[in-house]
């Protein structure tokens, strides 16, 4: 257990409503939905793709005109759910080829919920087709992909919001405003971030025939083609570095991005990491089960630790970040946060809980129409969508702009590179290279399979 006593003061309903409104104002959101109906398409109709789409439907007048997925069964099931949830009750047009979908429809917004290895190509193509984009994190599987995504967003003047919705999480916005920005922590000179979830799929399923309803070749896309051993949806693909960046790219990015936002941090000065597969050696998974990373700033170290085995250091905060200041400490997660002062002169303890909106959005509780919904994340995603829409309307940058998503994503990717090479790395974002390290610089861009062309910031 933690070495402090948590003060369990919960929000009353009135306070919750006030906090939500404050969040809108803090993020510069326009709480009025757009006047016109926006045409929307989703690429990747799995769990979180649908979750993002349903949150958008809840807060804005949109018409979902198209869905794209290489799994026909998943696609058809998603179409039925969308028709039940959207106002028009229309079934969207269905596609297996996202490029055909972009060519045949004039789209205001494209949501991207595919696995990480497809994010860059699909986001850039959607931007070029004239759409604003909401893309899940991490934005890319290599650093140059991310640089190209930023370049495309700027060249074509499109809003790109990244699904790092901790920046729109009500209790974390409250903590930033009333604890961090208010100076209650004093000078913050150390940050710890962690994830101790047992989330590393690590089985040994046999190689098997690809089902007729699933286009595995297209699903794999630019990534290496692994022998097919079952549908890769949800957890299985995340356990392979071929498609993402492990727990570092999946979970650290959320916490590191939130820390950077709270403390107004840019690129780290230097990044280092160690780790490997220390315990769970019996399965196919090739992502680390144990890893530490260090993101260095002036007078500040941000330290990451994950283990997919054993017990969490603090059971109250198994996936979280902790800001250590000379006046106090802030423990924070998706579920709660606690401020603990150094002494009585530094103030009193503060506790905040996650905000739920079950009464306002009862459809969140209808399990058959949305399996596996994260009720704690739904309010944050709705606010994130509103911020996205406001940025489109005003022509400004959203709270999770693609450039900030790129910094957070690339930093985690470079941490993995450091672990692989066994040395600290310094990234120069102007030159797009690792300083004085040609071997590391070569790793900034992964090889693509033949027929797929890797995007570059100079050629988007």
At 64-94, the pLDDT tens digits run 999 999 999 999 999 999 999 999 999 999 9
Global pTM reads 0.92
Check residue 122 and give its pLDDT: 98
Check residue 344 and give its pLDDT: 82
Check residue 363 and give its pLDDT: 85
Q: Which two structure tokens, joined as six digits, stand for 18? A: 């006030």
pLDDT > 70? residue 133: yes
pLDDT > 90? residue 40: yes
Check residue 357 and give its pLDDT: 92
3-state secondary structure 191-224: EEEEECCCCCCCCCCCCCCCCCCECHHHHHCCCC
The reply to whether domains 1-28+167-200+228-359+402-450 and 29-166 share a CATH topology is no
pLDDT, the chain, mean: 92
Query: Where does 1-28+167-200+228-359+402-450 sit in CATH, by number?
Result: 3.30.360.10
Q: What percent of the chain has pLDDT over 70?
A: 92
Residues 6+ apart with CB under 8 A from 239: 200, 201, 202, 283, 284, 285, 286, 287
Average pLDDT over every residue of 339-352: 91
Check residue 33 and give its pLDDT: 56
Check residue 25 and give its pLDDT: 46
pLDDT > 80? residue 7: no
Residues 6+ apart with CB under 8 A from 198: 308, 309
Residue position matching structure tokens 């690129």: 267
Average pLDDT over every residue of 104-113: 98
Cβ-in-10-Å burial (0-12, 13-18, 19+) of 186 comes to middle
Output phi, psi for 137, to 5 deg.
-90, 160
Check residue 290 and give its pLDDT: 98
pLDDT > 50? residue 374: yes
pLDDT interval class at 26 (50, 70, 90): very low
Check residue 119 and give its pLDDT: 98
Domain boundaries, the chain: 1-28+167-200+228-359+402-450, 29-166
CB 59 within 8 A of CB 382: yes
pLDDT > 60? residue 214: yes
What angle, rounded to 10 degrees, do the helices at 72-85 and 47-59 form?
Answer: 20
pLDDT tens digits, one per residue of 291-315: 999 999 999 999 999 999 999 999 9
Which residue would you say has higher pLDDT here, 184 or 3? 184
pLDDT > 70? residue 447: yes
pLDDT interval class at 129 (50, 70, 90): very high
Check residue 368 and give its pLDDT: 64
Average pLDDT over every residue of 333-344: 95
pLDDT > 50? residue 3: no
Average pLDDT over every residue of 326-332: 98
Cβ-in-10-Å burial (0-12, 13-18, 19+) of 5 comes to exposed
Going from the C-alpha of 405 to that of each of 98, 204, 351, 418, the distances in angstroms are 23, 34, 28, 20
Check residue 34 and give its pLDDT: 62
pLDDT > 60? residue 413: yes
Check residue 373 and give its pLDDT: 87
Query: Where does 29-166 sit in CATH, by number?
Result: 3.40.50.720
Average pLDDT over every residue of 160-172: 98
Residues 6+ apart with CB under 8 A from 111: 40, 41, 42, 43, 49, 52, 53, 56, 133, 134, 135
CA 266 to CA 296: how far, in whole Å?
11
Check residue 367 and give its pLDDT: 60
Check residue 337 and give its pLDDT: 98
pLDDT interval class at 6 (50, 70, 90): very low
Residues 6+ apart with CB under 8 A from 372: 47
Which contacts (CB < 8 Å, 24+ apart) does range 455-459 have?
455/120, 455/121, 455/124, 455/144, 455/145, 455/148, 455/149, 455/152, 456/144, 456/147, 456/148, 457/144, 457/147, 457/148, 457/150, 457/151, 457/432, 458/151, 459/148
CA 290 to CA 211: how far, in whole Å?
34
Check residue 362 and give its pLDDT: 87
CA 298 to chain CA centroid, nearest Å: 26
CB 194 within 8 A of CB 306: yes
3-state secondary structure the chain: CCCCCCCCCCCCHHHHHHHHHHHHHHCCCCCCCCCCCEEEEEECCCHHHHHHHHHHHHHCCEEEEEEECCEHHHHHHHHHHHHHHCCCCCCCEEECCHHHHHHHCCCCEEEECCCHHHHHHHHHHHHHCCCEEEECCCCCCCHHHHHHHHHHHHHCCCCEEECCHHHHCHHHHHHHHHHHCCCCCCCEEEEEEEECCCCCCCCCCCCCCCCCCECHHHHHCCCCCCCCCCCCCCCCHHHCCCCCCHHHHHHHHHHHHHHHHHHCCCCCCEEEEEEECCCCCCCCCCCCCEEEEEEEECCEEEEEEEECCCCCCCCCCCEEEEEEECCEEEEEECCEEEEEECCHHHCCCEEEECCCCCCCCHHHHCHHHCCCCCCCCHHHHHHHHHHHHHHHHHCCCCCCEHHHHHHHHHHHHHHHHHHHHCCCECEECCCCEECCCHHHHHCCCCCCCCCCCCCCCCCC
């Amino acid at each position: 257990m933690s070495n402090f006593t948590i003060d369990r003061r919960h929000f009353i309903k009135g306070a919750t409503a006030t906090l939500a409104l404050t969040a809108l104002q803090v993020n510069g959101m326009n709480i009025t939905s757009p006047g016109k109906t926006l045409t929307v398409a989703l690429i990747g109709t799995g769990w979180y793709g649908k979750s993002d789409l349903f949150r958008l439907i809840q807060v804005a007048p949109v018409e979902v005109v198209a869905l794209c997925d290489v799994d026909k069964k998943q696609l058809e099931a998603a179409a039925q759910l969308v028709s039940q949830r959207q106002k028009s009750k229309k079934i969207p047009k269905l596609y297996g080829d996202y490029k055909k979908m972009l060519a045949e429809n004039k789209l205001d917004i494209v949501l991207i919920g595919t696995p990480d290895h497809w994010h860059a190509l699909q986001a850039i193509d959607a931007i070029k087709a004239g759409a604003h984009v909401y893309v899940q994190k991490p934005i890319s599987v290599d650093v140059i992909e991310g640089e190209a995504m930023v370049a495309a967003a700027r060249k074509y003047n499109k809003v790109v919001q990244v699904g790092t919705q901790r920046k729109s999480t009500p209790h974390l916005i409250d903590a930033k405003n009333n604890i961090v920005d208010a100076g209650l922590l004093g000078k913050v000179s150390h940050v710890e971030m962690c994830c101790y979830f047992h989330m590393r799929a690590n089985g040994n399923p046999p190689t098997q025939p690809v089902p007729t309803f699933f286009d595995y070749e297209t699903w794999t896309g630019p990534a290496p083609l692994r022998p097919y051993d079952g549908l890769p949806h949800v957890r299985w693909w995340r356990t392979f570095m071929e498609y993402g960046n492990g727990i570092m790219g999946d979970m650290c990015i959320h916490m590191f991005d939130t820390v950077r936002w709270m403390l107004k941090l840019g690129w780290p000065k230097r990044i280092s990491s160690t780790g490997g597969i220390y315990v769970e050696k019996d399965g196919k998974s090739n992502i680390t089960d144990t890893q530490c990373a260090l993101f260095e700033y002036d007078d500040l170290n941000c330290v990451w630790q994950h283990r997919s085995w054993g017990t969490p250091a603090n059971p109250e905060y198994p996936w979280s970040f902790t800001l250590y200041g000379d006046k106090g400490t802030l423990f924070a997660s998706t579920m709660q946060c606690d401020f603990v002062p150094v002494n009585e002169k530094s103030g009193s303890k503060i506790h905040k809980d996650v905000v739920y909106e079950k009464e306002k959005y009862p459809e969140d509780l209808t399990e058959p129409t949305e399996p596996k919904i994260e009720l704690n994340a739904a309010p944050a995603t709705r606010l994130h969508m509103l911020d996205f829409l406001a940025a489109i309307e005003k022509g400004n940058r959203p709270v999770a702009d693609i450039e900030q998503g790129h910094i957070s994503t690339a930093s985690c990717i470079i941490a993995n590179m450091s672990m692989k090479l066994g040395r600290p790395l310094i990234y120069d974002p102007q030159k797009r290279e690792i300083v004085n390290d040609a071997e590391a610089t070569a790793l900034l861009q992964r090889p693509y399979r033949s027929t797929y062309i890797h995007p570059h910031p100079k050629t988007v």
